Structure 1
Amino acid sequence: MRSRFHGWYDKFLSAGGKEVLLKAVAMAMPVFAMSVFKLPKITCRNLTSAMTNFWWNAQEGKKKIHWVSWERMCLEKKNGGLGFRDLEKFNQALLAKQGWRLLMNSDSLCARFLRSRYYPNGDFLSASLGSRPSYAWRSILFGRILLEKGLRRDVGSGEDINVWMDKWLFDEVPKAPLRKPVLFNLDLRVCDLICPQTKTWDMEKLQENFFAADIKLILKQKPAMGEKDAYEWVHNRWGAYTVKSGYWLACSLDQSEVRKEALARPSLNELRSKVWKVNTSPKIRIFLWKALSNALSVTDELIARGMKVDSRCQRCGFSSESINHILFSCPFARLLWAQIGFPFPPRGFENRSLLENFAYLLEIKSNKELPDALTLIFPWVLWMLWKNKNAFEFEGKEYAVEATVEKIKDDARQWFEVHLPTVNNEETCRRRNSKVQWKAPSAGILKCNVGVAWTKSTKLAGAAWFVRDSREVVQLHSRRAFSGIDSLVEAKHLALVWAIESMAFHKINKVFFEVEAPDLVGAITRPRAWPAFRGYGAEILEVLQRLGEWELQSISREENKCAFLMARSVTKEQRLQSYVAQGEPEWLRRVLDGDRTRR
């Protein structure tokens, strides 16, 4: 890595270029090794040291002040950091992925070898270090520590899950339910709580054994009857472990003072997070972040770090040189802001703190009453003030205000011309006008579009389906209301099951289903990638067996507009009457014609 950095130093990269190289290249170099072995702490420190030196130093071998600690720079951008990865936490997240693979692919060659060596009579989660373990096994167990903190049992048949001992509920963290009865069966299994006839939870047994809060958590799960009990990762919506979610968990469990301090200052973090949405070049965005992080070389900050320097501003000599003074309060800065024509705050920049001034700039950026050419130019003003300060102090150059204003406007104009093309640009117009649209099925196959709408406050769901042929003619359509629905995914599940049952009832055996439900479609087409929806997928697959040939696809709202509008009429207009009809509804004819004419 140091040899790679040696070549990068010669390229005179901006802060934006350094950020890209560190995140995309430097941090990717040790990934293969970190996926297999736990790196020693000294190795992590050496790699971190090389990256921090590259970030702060302009030339190799010349050390500069590290204004912000690497630990703080590894915080998320929304929490005031730069989003770099902590190598030790990232290493653990990568190793946890290996543990997840051993858990999910227990019949793989690697899993069978490790089982024969370390846990012949148990499973991976209960395996011990063993005698004379390999370093790879030690490393996997290091990843398992993180994995266990986000795992819960996923209910299939429920035969292998102990109600009181296993973590099969999730309430911020995976947990077992609280014991309500004084006397209870210690070997009670989850399958004993499921009604075998209806394949749903037995409410009488739930109320007998659990408190109301735990009953709510239990009812959120849908048992995948007929399948083995498995595991689910609780820190993403699809239930499969990812390195990204594992790293997020490792960071959220971090109780260091740096993270506590960052989370204790939400207003400052909000300002820093807004900086990354400013329309300007990456190097200027990083400069704005440095200004808000007190990471610029001004005399006030140098004195705070123990250096003995003259605290007065080198340009005006009237006040101490702070970041706020250089960018807002110095007479040269005030004159430049005035020449630009930027609207001043009520009390002026000089009577406000640095945070107040930045908050004002970021707020006025969204003011639609002022021209964009004025409100969006402030990043270049701040950048040029800083460059002029350094040119005056280190090179003895002093630029006139008028020339600086022209330079600012020219730089901003050139950047916007490249990165924000005008609406008149033909290519831009073509992209904006090319919308995703509904596509007719092949000859001999009918397409069924399923729409769902759900209101959380009333727990009312509307469902609708349209059946169209290859000539784009509506053969049948239907609408139905569902009450007492607790979640959108439950509404989508009920709507899709109802649509499939309707196709079977109407003897339509070749159907292409389209629905706005990537989670449910994923649970059917890629069940290993969507374990959190395994119960829904199993029930939908069971109903699909009634059809001869079928295909299922998740689509966007634009492609499913007709079915969605029909379903929304239940929740929005209270059209609660269910019906099935031939042809197309008159009030949706314009939308259906739009699907046809756009082809």
Structure 2
Amino acid sequence: MPLYAMSCFKLPLSLCKRIQSILTRFWWDDKPDKRKISWVAWNTLTLPKSEGGLGFREIEQFNDALLGRISWKILHFPDSLLARVLLGKYCLEKNFLEVTASSSCSHGWRSILAGREVLLKGLGWTVGDGSSINIWKDPWLSTDLPRLPIGPPTEENRHLKVSALLQPETNDWNAAAIQKHLPQYEESICKLIPSSNKKKDALVWLPERKGFYTTKTGYMLAKLNSNAPISENFNWQLNIWKIRIPPKLKMFLWKVKRKALSVGNNLSCRGIVSDLLCKRCGERESELHILIHCSFARRVWDLAPLHRTPRSESSSSLGSLLTSARQTQALPPLGITHSSLYHWILWYIWKSRNLLIFENRIITEEETITKAIVAAKEWQAAQPIVKTPQRCRTTNVPPTEASLIHVPLIEDATLAIPHIEDSTQALPPDEVLLCFTDAAWNASSGSCGMGWIFKTQHRVIHRGSAFRRHTPSALAAEALAMKYALTAASRMEVTSINVFSDSQVLISLLNTETSTNELQGILHDIALLCHSFVSCTFSFIPREANVLADGMAKAALASLNSPAL
């Protein structure tokens, strides 16, 4: 495929169709001079594997997705030489996201605008100080999908910025302003957590968790918007692609489900009227008949050493046949534990049918089962043994509950940083502080509780906790707990601190200095708080070594739902 040309210019539609035709013929034909039946439509082949396709690229949409990379670079690197030339020539009156193609513009600029259309389907704003985001025109209500409020706006607020909904002192959400302008979106807005330090608003790519545009997600979004979604109650990943069997068996199962095998029913649908009956029993041939309903197949399954074998009455469709296969295991004496004997038997039933038709060879039921068992064992023995890596453990285990100092619980109702009581003990000079944080999150209510413990090598010097009602995820709750703990340590004038958390994802984000769309504001605040310490490190510990902070977080969450509050 001409990837370099496709990443620079938009190809003509006729050329895209020619490339598509070449790919189709390469996939289905045996030889260049021998054309075969295309059993599955091209639109189906280009679907992702999780949707029942094979992940082939739709040429025109893939071309647009590649061009989206240039548009992304122009949008985020406007000071580059290419961006300055193009923006200076074509974007004098309107910005890049709003400009239209003039009649005199070059083919290269039209290609870039084609890539921009892909970007517009997935761009969204993460709220910082809110000064760059128009409430009614820009997508800002979600960090997952491009959502904006449904109008129409009033004459008073049609030019309003998101900054009008934030408190100027703390950069927290102003409940009164939200109730005045967007009361129906209050819950969605409160789940967005802006930076307390008024970070600038950022335009991010929402389909990608880290906010950066990728050709893969751009293509998937373009493909999703070009075709109506097909609702199908069948999990392709679990039932086919993630099964521990060879690729040839996975492709066979995909062809079975997609009716891409040369059986009688499929041949008759394409106008072929000969050889439509089963060679063993004389009935109409279909995938289900060959694999389950035929008398030969039933005798094979009766001999199968499985704890649950398929039955004709329960396997009414190909989907139910493949779904029930995941629940079937080989009996213990065989030793087949890392592969699926069920799918090997399906494969050898199909091979036995082909040998009878094309070579006139009769394979007995016993031979079919024996071949399936031998092949399953050989493939299992050839697979490398993957050892599960042991989780690293820390020697800094938290102290007992009896040694903790009680600090009153404070509600964080308005997203403000909780007040830390002055009942903490003094930290010895030049001693490193050990901090343990954890959070508990209720998915149904969106509430979370947070807890943190400060200790030295010998004693606990502080404990704190807080809770919050509108939290988008468990990861956001973990990040908030760490932010509040670092704020408390900063107020105690700590110089060196080692922070421990049982959230491996959060620790990885902090140590690699990366971010996500959801956590941009929180991680920005944590990065600034780190500058107030001479030394600040982040380490992962297993949950069983963080039980006290976990208990405090759960207690804080429980107190939020208590009648007293």
TM-score normalized with structure 1 length: 0.77
Q: 1:142 aligns with which of 107, 114, 131?
A: 114
Counterpart position of 1:283: 248
Q: 1:451 aligns with which of 434, 438, 457?
A: 438
Give the drift of 1:294.
1.1
Query: Within 5 A, what are the aligned runs for 1:293-308?
Result: 293-308=258-273
Distance change >3 Å, CA 110–CA 382, structure 1 → 2? same
Aligned length: 520
Counterpart position of 1:389: 353
Counterpart position of 1:251: 223
Question: Does 2:492 match 1:496?
Answer: no
Counterpart position of 1:462: 450
Distance change >3 Å, CA 436–CA 49, structure 1 → 2? farther
User: What's the Cα RMSD here?
Assistant: 3.4
Question: Does 2:123 match 1:151?
Answer: yes
Q: 2:63 aligns with which of 91, 94, 112?
A: 91
Q: 2:321 aligns with which of 340, 344, 358?
A: 358
Identity percentage over the alignment? 30
Q: 1:62 aligns with which of 23, 34, 37?
A: 34
Whole-angstrom CA distance in 2 between matches of 1:439 and 1:122: 59
- 1:492 maps to a residue whose letter is E
Matched-pair contact (CA < 8 Å) for 2:439–2:451: yes
Give the drift of 1:72.
0.7
Give the drift of 1:237.
3.5
Distance change >3 Å, CA 344–CA 234, structure 1 → 2? closer
Give the drift of 1:230.
2.8
Counterpart position of 1:482: 466
Matched-pair contact (CA < 8 Å) for 1:178–1:210: no
Corresponding residue SS for 2:484: helix
Give the drift of 1:382.
1.4
Corresponding residue SS for 1:385: helix
Give the drift of 1:393.
1.2
- 1:284 maps to a residue whose letter is L
Counterpart position of 1:199: 171
Whole-angstrom CA distance in 2 between matches of 1:306 and 1:272: 33
Whole-angstrom CA distance in 1 between matches of 2:30 and 2:204: 47
- Greater shift after overlay, 235-244 or 59-68? 235-244
Question: Does 2:417 match 1:435?
Answer: no
Q: 1:222 aligns with which of 193, 209, 229?
A: 193
Question: Does 2:466 match 1:511?
Answer: no
Q: Which has the higher helix share?
A: 1
Unaligned runs of 5+ in 2: 397-429, 560-565
Whole-angstrom CA distance in 2 between matches of 1:532 and 1:209: 24
Question: Does 2:386 match 1:415?
Answer: no
Whole-angstrom CA distance in 2 between matches of 1:136 and 1:390: 53
Q: 2:78 aligns with which of 94, 101, 106?
A: 106
Whole-angstrom CA distance in 2 between matches of 1:410 and 1:158: 65
Give the drift of 1:392.
1.6
- 2:109 maps to a residue whose letter is W
Corresponding residue SS for 2:465: strand
Question: Does 2:533 match 1:562?
Answer: no
Counterpart position of 1:588: none
Distance change >3 Å, CA 540–CA 54, structure 1 → 2? same
- 1:106 maps to a residue whose letter is P
- Which string of whole-angstrom CA distances, capped at 9 and with x for unpartnered residues, describes residues 21-41 of structure 1? xxxxxxxx5333322222222
Give the drift of 1:313.
1.5
- 2:550 maps to a residue whose letter is R
Matched-pair contact (CA < 8 Å) for 2:126–2:143: no
Whole-angstrom CA distance in 1 between matches of 2:51 and 2:126: 33
Corresponding residue SS for 1:453: strand
Give the drift of 1:511.
2.7
Counterpart position of 1:322: 286
Matched-pair contact (CA < 8 Å) for 2:306–2:330: no
Distance change >3 Å, CA 372–CA 355, structure 1 → 2? farther
Whole-angstrom CA distance in 2 between matches of 1:494 and 1:53: 55
Give the drift of 1:171.
9.1
